[in-house]
Chain A
Amino acid sequence: MNWPQLLVTVVTLGGIFGVVTLALNLQYARGGMINFGIVAYFAIGAYVYAIVTQRGPIGLDQYRFGFDWPWWSGLILAGIAALLFAALTGWPTLRLRGEYLALTTFAFAEVLHSLLLNERRIGNGTVGLANVDRPFSDWGPIEEKYVFAAAAALLLVLTLLAFRRLLSSPYGRALDAIRDDETAALAVGKAAERLRREVFLISAIPVGVAGAVYAMYTTLAQPSLFTAEITFFVWIALVLGGERSLYGVVLGTLGLVLFEEVVRAWPFETVRSAQIAASAEHVLTGLVFIAVLRYQPFQRTVSRLRVAP
């Protein structure tokens, strides 16, 4: 097993998905909002980046727009687009709470997925937008994969610091107050609705940017990449890492990605062994999840170190 390569992949994907898990943590653990459609904001970021940086359609392409703008403009617009999409979806959905909100956000994500799948003029339908612009290809002596890993790690650290700062401010304490006892918070003049909506919007921005980095990494924006599996993946990471700690969710995500990659990095030299592995992977994953939920290693690590928040 090639451990350096494994490490690079875990840092890159762990960084990208870690950002999404952090955003989910902010929405759920602090804002009290169950978002089962977070993949939609991730997908919006990826598609906007691809459309902005992609050249115009040629030959058999069926998408209508490709602006061929530089990568950084795609990255910025991905964050803005996710924010706008959060505003659009947040307005009707955030009036709901609990499981109603969960179902509505899930429905929104499915609608977006269906739209991307069937409306070929946006993102080429099922074919998607392939060979998306990768900006880190000519960085001199440093190999592209290391630059990517560093970029993903940087995005994760920036998001972590920003959220940490936000939560340790009076704004964060107001959120905690609303989560703990909304009636009491309202009684002392905290605008619960407005604060929740703001958290929903703020947390969508890094998710959009992470989607853009994901599109760069896979060089692909395709509906099959943005299914409910992503939503459940980050929810599992959140549960594994412990919802009350930002560091815990980062560890949970890195642990989950590491597990997936270790399973995949195992070289199978015969067809039969690869077939058996493909069948056994889900069983093994389930067993590991049960063990992690039973013993909660990530939450224990964080609580042992007594890291705040």
Chain B
Amino acid sequence: MGTNKRKWMRLFAVLFALSLVGAACGDDDSADQQDQDAEETASQPSEDAAGTDSETADETSPPTTEAAERGEVTVGVLVPLTGELGEFGAIVADAIEFGVSEINAAGGTRCGDIRTVVADTGGDAETGIREATNMIESEGAVAILGPTSGVMVPLVDLAHREEVVIMSPYAGTITLNELGGDFVYRTVSSDLGDGAASGLWLSSRGYESVAFLIQNEESTISPAEVARDEVNAAGIKITDFIVYNPGQPSYQAELTTVLANDPDAIFLAGGQESGVTVIKEAVAGGFEGEWLFTADLAVPEIFDAVGADLINDKAFVEFADVDPSLPEFISFEERYDKAGDPFAPNSFDMVTLVALALESAGGCDGAAINGTIRGVADSDGTKVSTFAEGRDVLAAGGTINYEGASGPLVFDASGTVSGAYTIQQAINGEWVNVEFYPASTFDR
């Protein structure tokens, strides 16, 4: 037995020594790689701009090697690239990438060029926590951008503990109405607003009865509950309010009940995977009424997945949106060809705000961003709508008020902005705007 023990001790000692050697080599490699990346970014900034911002790069101040000399500042992009919200994650990550390319093309921040580290959460909270921890501990991320509601809430504790700013362009969950505010921000309004907009739309359509089908997720239940109150208040009969679990091969059990009551419309707050099945099965079951979907289904891919014929003219979708008449949005639309994608402007604003907060702060870490982000988003200073404008004003000793492509960004106590909402209708295989509710609609 004694010999065995010694063998084990020897094995663990060798493993430990190897890990330390590996750690030392790993750090050097990483540092070398970062230096190399910084130089590449500084010398070829416009190539990373996906060909959409070459004009902007020419117009702004030319890139210098100063950013490379100052080093880089890392921002984590934590989005679902797979799973039910994969389509949204890709839109958000692309818009952040565009924002970063614009910032770096303009010469980078005071702390250096922005380097992104991208990870897929698959919408899973545990993966999100592990990836976020890795981004902070291993990659030195000062901010983490893009988590969905289900991932964002568990990250609140990590954000406070590690003093890293966490921001989302689409986490509307009402849980953040209480938890957000310090190190936790979002450039989208709360789900309460989504629910109110949905309720307003359902109440205005002249329906006599509405059924609610809600996926068992935080991000779908909270707006549905608010919408239910609105619909109730309008005197419309709610035939069913069914919360279903996603991931089922069929939703016939839920739909049998719903269709038996023959509602005029179905409010479907579901994810892309479950939503597609529900729609197909409901139509196959004889449902001929109208639909109102929540933001998760506001993607063009839904027409291919469901079959455009099944939802054309009958389906509407509600989502937090920007005011298309805003000059900041029009300018963004001219620079970025995917500006119209859901949450793209919110995502662009998010990374621009982080860069401006770094520019305005005395340090280059999460605490510095947290200390200045409200100040650059909302102040009596000069109105700016791009990073380059803001940086120039700050360099001249002024204060700035960033007016984003998604609207005026004023964070309330919970780190949330107020928002506007759009209703779109499925017409000829695409989503077409039919109603816009500005933020002022819900001031009551």
Contacts and interface: CB of A to CB of B under 8 A. Distances in A.
A274 B118 CA distance: 6
26 contacts: A2-B30, A5-B134, A60-B178, A126-B216, A126-B221, A130-B156, A130-B157, A130-B175, A131-B154, A134-B157, A218-B129, A219-B129, A219-B158, A220-B125, A222-B154, A224-B124, A224-B150, A225-B125, A267-B117, A268-B118, A269-B115, A269-B117, A274-B93, A275-B90, A305-B4, A307-B7
A60 B149 CA distance: 15
B262 interface: no
A273 B118 contact: yes
A271 interface: yes
Which 5 pairs between the two chains have the least Cβ-Cβ distance? A3-B23, A2-B138, A274-B118, A278-B120, A3-B26
Nearest to B141: A267
B153 to A, nearest CB: 5
A277 B154 contact: no
B118 A269 contact: yes
Which of A60, A269, A271 has the largest count of B CB atoms less than 10 A from its CB? Answer: A271
Chain B at the A interface: SS class: helix
A9 interface: yes
Nearest to B139: A267
A178 B133 CA distance: 46
A102 to B, nearest CB: 22
Contacts, number: 141
Interface in A221-275: 222, 224-225, 247, 264-265, 267-271, 273-275
A132 to B, nearest CB: 8
Contacts of B252: none
Interface in A169-194: none
A131 B119 contact: no
Interface in B113-147: 115-120, 122, 124-126, 129-131, 133-134, 137-139
Contacts of B130: 9, 264
A127 B137 CA distance: 26
B161 interface: yes
Interface in B193-223: 216-218, 221
A134 B25 CA distance: 32
Interface in B1-41: 1, 4, 7-8, 11, 19, 22-27, 29-30, 37
A270 B134 CA distance: 17
B135 to A, nearest CB: 8
A89 B216 CA distance: 27
Interface in B271-297: none
Which of A117, A267, A273 has the largest count of B CB atoms less than 10 A from its CB? Answer: A267
B94 interface: yes
Which of A114, A145, A270 has the largest count of B CB atoms less than 10 A from its CB? Answer: A270
Interface of B: 1, 4, 7-8, 11, 19, 22-27, 29-30, 37, 77, 81-82, 90, 93-94, 97, 115-120, 122, 124-126, 129-131, 133-134, 137-139, 150, 153-154, 156-158, 161, 174-175, 177-179, 216-218, 221, 243, 245
Contacts of B122: 278
Chain A interface size, under 10 / 10 to 19 / 20 to 34 / 35 or more: 35 or more
A125 B225 CA distance: 15
Contacts of A303: none
A128 B24 CA distance: 39
Given A5-B134, A218-B129, A222-B125, A137 B161 contact: yes
Interface of A: 1-7, 9, 58-60, 114, 117-118, 125-128, 130-131, 134, 137, 144-145, 218-220, 222, 224-225, 247, 264-265, 267-271, 273-275, 277-279, 301, 305-308
Contacts of B156: 130-131
B108 to A, nearest CB: 15
Contacts of B153: 127, 130
A84 to B, nearest CB: 26
Contacts of B23: 2-4, 7
Contacts of A6: 138
A248 to B, nearest CB: 12
A278 B134 contact: no
Which of A1, A114, A131 has the largest count of B CB atoms less than 10 A from its CB? Answer: A1
Contacts of B1: 308
A39 to B, nearest CB: 13
Contacts of A301: 11
B132 to A, nearest CB: 11
B81 A3 contact: no
A153 to B, nearest CB: 11
Given A60-B174, A271-B93, A125 B216 contact: yes
Given A130-B153, A218-B129, A278 B82 contact: yes
Which of B77, B120, B139 has the largest count of A CB atoms less than 10 A from its CB? Answer: B120
Nearest to B222: A60
A274 B97 contact: no
